[in-house]
Structure 1
Amino acid sequence: MTDAANTSVLIVGAGGAGLSLSLLLEQHGVSSILVERRVDVSWLPRARNLNFRTLEVFRGLGLEKEVLAAGTHVSRTVRKDSLAASGHQDFPSIEDILRVTDHPEALSPEPMFWYCPQSVTEPLLGAAARERGCDIRYGLELVSFTQDSAGVTATVSDRATGAQTVLRADYLVAADGAHSHVREQLGVPVAGKGVLEEHYIFVYFRAPWADVVRGYESDAVLIDRPGVRGFFLITDPDRGMFLIQQDFEQEYTPEHCRELILDGIGVPDLPVEVVEIAHWRPAQQVAERFRVGRVFLAGDAAHTMPPKLGMGVNTAIAGVHNLAWKLAAVLHKQAGDALLDTYEVERHPIAALISRQSLVGPAATLITGGEDDALLPAEERVSMFSLIIGNRYRSRAVLSEPPAHPAPDGVELLNGPEDLTGVPGTRIPHGGLARNGESISPLDLFDGQFVLLTGPEGAPWTNAAPEAAAATGVRVAAYRLGPDADLRDPDGKWWAATGLPADGVLLARPDGIVAWRTDALPADPTSVLTATLTAILARDS
C-alpha cells in the first residue's frame, strides 16, 4: 500500500457530476482528485439531452462552444418499420412537449435543449479537466473511507493490479451512482418509490450501420411492428443500443437479441455483434441527507430518477454547481462551515421534486403506452420551467424576508419567466446588456466570483465593493448600469424589470443565484456590504 496523497477534495465517480465538479473546483482554485472505477469514459448514448441551465454552467466554464459544436439540436423521436425502410413518422419534438417558454431568447443565451449524450460529454469534460491540470484517475475503485474532524482518509484500489493507495482529503464528494458505495457505508437511507415495476433491456452492439442511420444520428428511432418493438439509440457509425420493454415470455439470449436488432435494422446480412445485454429497471429515490460530516452526496448517489424527463445529469450538474463555490469558500477560509449545510437545504427539496416528477414523461409513454401515468396524477405535475430554473432557494446563503406561506414540500415555485426579476434565491435574470459596444448576458460576468449590480446612481455601491471584498476575502465584481457606466442597459428594460431604484443594488453568488438586494442606499455602503457578505458566507457562525 502506498503512502497517503493529499488533496482538498476527493471526488468518487467520473460521470457528468464528478467531471463537472472537478472543473468547477479548478475554476475556484481548489485541488481535487477524481477516481473512477471504469477504465475509460463511457461510450453509451445515455443522458442524451442537456438543458439550458446545464449549458449555462458550461458557458461559465468556458466550454460552451465545445459542447455546442460536439452536439446538435435536440434529438427527434421518430417511428419507422425498420431503419432501412424509407420514410418515417415524426412524433412531437421534445422541445414542444417539454416547452419551457414561448420566448427562450429572453430566458437564456443558450438553446433550451441540446443533444449531447454521455458518450460525447464525458470525453469532452475529461479532456478539458486534464488540460486544466485536474487529477483524473480511471481504473481506481474506492475500497473504504473514514472521516475525522480534520478530513477524510480513503483507500482506493487499482482494478488492474490490485495495488492500494491511501488518499487524504479535506472533503469527499460521492458521485458514484445510484448504487453508491459511499452512501451505503454512511448508512444514509433513501426515500421514494424505489425500483419501479418497469422492466427494460438495453442491448449494446457493434455494427457498420452508418448507411442506415444517416440523417438520424442524434435521434431516437422507434421500431414498432409485429415481432419487433424498441428504440434504437445511435452512439456512432459503428455502435449503438437497442432498448426493449421486456416480454417475460421471451428469453433474451445474445442470439435472440441479435435477431431482434437485425429485424429492426432491416438489413439481414449486416454483421452485428452483441456486446452486452443489460436488464434494467428505473428507480426513483432520494437520499434523506446530502451531507454527513465531511462527506457529500451528489448526482445519482443523492437523487436517482427515471430518465423520462431527461433531468438526471442536468440535476446532477446543477447540484455540484451549487456545491463547488461553497466548498471553495470554506477551503479558502472565506466562509464558515455552516455554509456547506446550505447545499442540502437548497438542493434536497428541488431534487426530490424533480425525481418524483420524472416518474412520467413523453418518451416513456411511447414504450409503456401510458401505463405509468398513474405514478403521478396529472394535477400534481409541474412545468419544465419550474423544474429547471423556476424555483427559489431559501437558506442562510440567501438573505430575504421569510415567505408568508411556506411551501408544504419546501419548494417555492415561480409562475413563469416573468418572475425572474432578481428576487433573492432565484437565478439572476438574463438580458441584453452591453459592455464595450458588445452584447453581454449578466451570466457572463461571474467567472467564479460574486457579482454586484447597481443602477445609474449606485456609484457608492461599486466604490464599496473592493473594501468589502478585501474584508471578507472573496472576489466581488461590481458593475454600475447606465449610459456612462461599466455596463449599458440599452433600452433600460433589464434594470426596470428588477423593480429597483436607480441607487438600488443586487448581489449574486458565484453560482448565479441572487443572494441579496436592497432599494435603500445607506450612509455607509461599505459596512452594509461587508456585513451582507459575512452573513451569506456564514462567517459569523
Structure 2
Amino acid sequence: MAQEQVSVLIVGAGGAGLSLALLLRQQGIASLLIERRTDVSWYPRARTLNFRTMEVFRSLGLDEQVRAAGAPISRMFRKHTLAASDQEELLNPTTLVEHLEEISPYPLGRYCPQSRLEPLLRGEAERQGVDVRYGTELVSFTQDETGVTALLRDRATSNISRVKAAYLIAADGAHSRIREALGISTWGVGELPESQIFVYFRANWGELIQGYEADAILTSNESGRGMFLITDQDRGMFAITYNPMRGESAQDYPIERCQKLIRAALGKPEIDVEIVDLADWRPIQRVAERFQEGRVFLVGDAAHTMPPYLGLGVNTAIQSAQNMAWKLAAVLKRQATSQLLTTYQTERHPVGTLVAEQSMTGPAAVLFEKEMRGNAQLHLKDPLPILYPIVGYRYRSAAILSEETATASPNEFELLESLELHGLPGSRVPHVWIERQGQRMSTLDLFDGRFVLLTGAGGTAWNKAAATIASRLGIELAAYCFGPEADLLTLDTTWEARLGISSEGAMLLRPDSFVAWRSTSLSANPLETLERVVAHILGKNKTPSYHA
C-alpha cells in the first residue's frame, strides 16, 4: 500500500478543524483535513462567534466574509406561538458587558452559526489549496518518534489508504475516537440531567421568522414548550425538552408527534412541516485530562465539551487552534524545538477548564433552568463576568517571559485582577487605535501570522535588531515604531500606559496576538537581549534574565 506524506493530519472539519487548516496555511504549512460527513452541516448550532474569535478571523483576512455571512448577536424571546404578536425579551447578550470598545474593535458577539460558518471556511480552505476530504474517516493510527501513521477509509468506495504525518490533530468531537484510543481520561460533571430532542425540519416559514433570523424563540402553550432556532427561510430546528425522571423518553416523540408539536408552536397549523432528522441530545461538561499525547493533540470538543449556555464551545476551539497553529509551524520549520509544543497543554488546558466550568453558569443557564427544565438542578459554579473566559486571563508558560523577578510555576494560570488589558506578558495585546499609512486601525490589525515587535520613538535600536534576529533565527518578525515620523501614529495619547512600555521600551507579540515579553527601557545591547528572548520563546535556550 502506497503511503502519503503530510505535515499535519487533522481529523474533523468542524469550526476547529477548518480554522486550524487555514491558520496552518497562513504559516505556510500544508495539512490534510478529513471529515466523516459527506458535506458541511446545515444545522444552526454553535451560533455565536465572540469578539476574540472574530479577531482570529481578522488575522486571516476573513472577518468581512464572516460579518457578511452573519448578523447581530442572538436575542432570546418567549412567545405563545411563533405567529403570536405578543412577546417577551428574555435575554439580550449586549446588555451583559460595558465599555467593550476599550478591549476590542468588535461587539461582544456575532451571530454566525455552524450552518453558515462551515461552508465559508470550507470554501476558503479549498480556494487556498488545502486538501479537504469529506466522506473520509480515520480507521486507526500508531505513533512513534518519527511521526503518526494513519489508515483512512473512503466511505463511498471503502478504499483504504495510508498516511504518514508529522502530527495528528484530534478535532473529532465530544465522543472523540482518537482520545479514546489514546486512553486519555476526562473529568467533569459528565452528562447533565437534561434531555432534549432536536427536530430538524423544512417549512415555508419565512414570513413568521422575519426580524428574528438570528434569534432563539421559546414557545409555551397548551401543546407544550419548545425552542426554535433558525437556519434560513425554509429550514430550522425545534428543541423539545423531556424528563426521564417522569418516565419520558425520546421514543415518546415519533415523527408524527414532532410535526404536530411544531405546527402548534408555529401557530399556523396549515403550514406543511417536513421532518428531516431527529437527534436525542444531552449536554455534557467534560474536560480531557491532557490535550497532548506524543505527536497527537486534542482540540475543540475532543479536548473540552460544555453546555451551550455561554456560547463558548466553538469559540474556545478556534482560539485554541490559533494557539496551536503557530507553534506547530515553528517546530515543523525547525525554528523552534518541540518544547514549544508542550506549552499548548500548559496554556490551553487551564482555559478549557475555566470555560467548561463557567459554561454551567450565567443568565442563559439560569434562564434555561427556569423556562425549560422545571425542577432539575444544574451544577452551578460562581459566575465570573463573561469577558473573563474570553480575554480575562494570563498565560504562564515557557513561551512567555514574565517581567516579575520571581519565576512563576510554568503550570500557573492567572486571572487578571481587573478586566483591563495593559500589556502584561501572557495576556492578549491591548486594543489601541493607531494610524498606519493614513489608515485608522487597531493594534490587532498588525497580526498576519508573524511575530510583531512594537517600540516607541526612542526604541529604534530594538527595530534595527529585529531584522537581524529574524534572519538569524529564520522567523518572520514585523517591527513597528510609534511616533510622529515613524511607522505607526498613535491616536490614543495614553498608549504607553495602555501597553505598559515607555518610548524607549519594546514589546514582543506572538503570532496569536499574546504578549510574549516586554521591556520598559532600552537594553544596553538590544540585539543580544532580543535574540535571547526570541530564542527562549522558541524553546532554544534557558530562561534569560528579564532585562538581559
Q: Same fold per TM (> 0.5)? A: yes
Alignment-mate amino acid for residue 241 of structure 1? M
The reply to whether residue 130 of structure 1 matches residue 130 of structure 2 is: no
What are the Cα deviations for residues 303-357 of structure 1, in whole angstroms up to 9, with x where unaligned? 0111111000001011111000000000000000000000000000111011011
Aligned partners of 2:197 and 2:102: how far apart in 1? Answer: 41
Alignment map for 1:233-312 (pairs within 5 Å): 233-248=229-244, 251-312=252-313
Kindly state the Cα deviation for residue 94 of structure 1 after the two structures are TM-superposed: 1.7
Kindly state the Cα deviation for residue 372 of structure 1 after the two structures are TM-superposed: 6.2
Q: Is the contact between residue 360 and residue 373 of structure 1 (CA under 8 Å) also seen in structure 2?
A: no
The reply to whether residue 187 of structure 1 matches residue 183 of structure 2 is: yes
The reply to whether residue 383 of structure 1 matches residue 385 of structure 2 is: yes
Kindly state the Cα deviation for residue 405 of structure 1 after the two structures are TM-superposed: 11
Alignment-mate amino acid for residue 111 of structure 2? Y
Aligned partners of 2:220 and 2:277: how far apart in 1? Answer: 23
Taking a change above 3 Å as real, the CA distance of residues 230 and 389 of structure 1, as seen in their structure-2 partners, is: same
State the partner residue of 1:157.
153
The reply to whether residue 167 of structure 1 matches residue 163 of structure 2 is: yes
Kindly state the Cα deviation for residue 361 of structure 1 after the two structures are TM-superposed: 3.6
State the partner residue of 1:77.
76
Taking a change above 3 Å as real, the CA distance of residues 407 and 5 of structure 1, as seen in their structure-2 partners, is: closer
Aligned partners of 2:278 and 2:78: how far apart in 1? Answer: 23
Aligned partners of 2:298 and 2:170: how far apart in 1? Answer: 5
Taking a change above 3 Å as real, the CA distance of residues 363 and 321 of structure 1, as seen in their structure-2 partners, is: same
Aligned partners of 1:298 and 1:27: how far apart in 2? Answer: 19
Q: Is the contact between residue 226 and residue 239 of structure 2 (CA under 8 Å) also seen in structure 1?
A: yes
State the partner residue of 1:8.
7
Alignment-mate amino acid for residue 55 of structure 1? M
Kindly state the Cα deviation for residue 410 of structure 1 after the two structures are TM-superposed: 4.1
Aligned partners of 1:61 and 1:331: how far apart in 2? Answer: 20
Alignment-mate amino acid for residue 37 of structure 1? R
Q: Is the contact between residue 398 and residue 536 of structure 1 (CA under 8 Å) also seen in structure 2?
A: yes
Taking a change above 3 Å as real, the CA distance of residues 203 and 404 of structure 1, as seen in their structure-2 partners, is: farther
Kindly state the Cα deviation for residue 404 of structure 1 after the two structures are TM-superposed: 7.0
Aligned partners of 2:405 and 2:412: how far apart in 1? Answer: 11
Taking a change above 3 Å as real, the CA distance of residues 512 and 371 of structure 1, as seen in their structure-2 partners, is: farther
State the partner residue of 2:28.
29
Which secondary structure does the structure 2 equivalent of 1:356 belong to?
helix
Kindly state the Cα deviation for residue 243 of structure 1 after the two structures are TM-superposed: 0.7
Alignment-mate amino acid for residue 235 of structure 1? T
State the partner residue of 1:395.
397
Q: Number of residue pairs matched?
A: 534
What are the Cα deviations for residues 254-303 of structure 1, in whole angstroms up to 9, with x where unaligned? 11111101110111121111122211111111111101110000000000
Aligned partners of 1:488 and 1:31: how far apart in 2? Answer: 37
State the partner residue of 2:318.
317
Q: Is the contact between residue 388 and residue 419 of structure 2 (CA under 8 Å) also seen in structure 1?
A: no
Kindly state the Cα deviation for residue 207 of structure 1 after the two structures are TM-superposed: 1.2
What are the Cα deviations for residues 218-256 of structure 1, in whole angstroms up to 9, with x where unaligned? 110000122220100011111111111114455111111
What are the Cα deviations for residues 85-125 of structure 1, in whole angstroms up to 9, with x where unaligned? 223221230222xx24x212221111211100000000000
Q: Is the contact between residue 403 and residue 518 of structure 2 (CA under 8 Å) also seen in structure 1?
A: no
Structure 1 range deviating more: 436-445 or 447-456: 436-445
Alignment-mate amino acid for residue 313 of structure 2? G
Q: Is the contact between residue 453 and residue 478 of structure 2 (CA under 8 Å) also seen in structure 1?
A: yes
Kindly state the Cα deviation for residue 27 of structure 1 after the two structures are TM-superposed: 0.1
Kindly state the Cα deviation for residue 383 of structure 1 after the two structures are TM-superposed: 1.4
State the partner residue of 1:535.
536
Q: Is the contact between residue 340 and residue 399 of structure 2 (CA under 8 Å) also seen in structure 1?
A: yes
Alignment-mate amino acid for residue 390 of structure 1? G
State the partner residue of 2:209.
213
Alignment-mate amino acid for residue 89 of structure 2? D
Taking a change above 3 Å as real, the CA distance of residues 77 and 404 of structure 1, as seen in their structure-2 partners, is: farther
Alignment-mate amino acid for residue 91 of structure 1? L
Kindly state the Cα deviation for residue 362 of structure 1 after the two structures are TM-superposed: 2.8
Alignment map for 1:375-454 (pairs within 5 Å): 375-377=379-381, 380-401=382-403, 410-418=412-420, 420-454=421-455
Which secondary structure does the structure 1 equivalent of 2:485 belong to?
coil
State the partner residue of 1:338.
339
Which secondary structure does the structure 2 equivalent of 1:308 belong to?
coil
State the partner residue of 2:92.
93
Taking a change above 3 Å as real, the CA distance of residues 373 and 502 of structure 1, as seen in their structure-2 partners, is: farther
Q: Is the contact between residue 365 and residue 372 of structure 1 (CA under 8 Å) also seen in structure 2?
A: no
Which secondary structure does the structure 1 equivalent of 2:212 belong to?
coil
State the partner residue of 2:508.
507
Aligned partners of 2:236 and 2:369: how far apart in 1? Answer: 22
Alignment-mate amino acid for residue 301 of structure 2? D
Alignment-mate amino acid for residue 376 of structure 1? L
Structure 1 range deviating more: 381-390 or 38-47: 381-390
What are the Cα deviations for residues 69-89 of structure 1, in whole angstroms up to 9, with x where unaligned? 111101111111111222322
Which secondary structure does the structure 2 equivalent of 1:17 belong to?
helix
Aligned partners of 1:241 and 1:364: how far apart in 2? Answer: 20
What are the Cα deviations for residues 177-229 of structure 1, in whole angstroms up to 9, with x where unaligned? 00001000000000111111111111111111112112211110000122220
Which secondary structure does the structure 2 equivalent of 1:429 belong to?
coil
Q: Is the contact between residue 385 and residue 416 of structure 1 (CA under 8 Å) also seen in structure 2?
A: no
State the partner residue of 1:49.
48
State the partner residue of 2:194.
198
Aligned partners of 1:366 and 1:226: how far apart in 2? Answer: 20
Aligned partners of 2:197 and 2:366: how far apart in 1? Answer: 16
Q: Is the contact between residue 336 and residue 540 of structure 1 (CA under 8 Å) also seen in structure 2?
A: no
Which secondary structure does the structure 2 equivalent of 1:375 belong to?
coil
Aligned partners of 2:446 and 2:461: how far apart in 1? Answer: 20
Taking a change above 3 Å as real, the CA distance of residues 103 and 372 of structure 1, as seen in their structure-2 partners, is: farther
Which secondary structure does the structure 2 equivalent of 1:307 belong to?
coil
Aligned partners of 2:474 and 2:361: how far apart in 1? Answer: 46
The TM-score with structure 2 as length reference comes to 0.94
Kindly state the Cα deviation for residue 389 of structure 1 after the two structures are TM-superposed: 0.4
Aligned partners of 2:408 and 2:361: how far apart in 1? Answer: 27
State the partner residue of 1:116.
112
Q: Is the contact between residue 406 and residue 412 of structure 1 (CA under 8 Å) also seen in structure 2?
A: no
Aligned partners of 2:139 and 2:153: how far apart in 1? Answer: 6
Taking a change above 3 Å as real, the CA distance of residues 107 and 463 of structure 1, as seen in their structure-2 partners, is: same
Q: Which runs of 5+ in 2 are unaligned?
A: 543-548
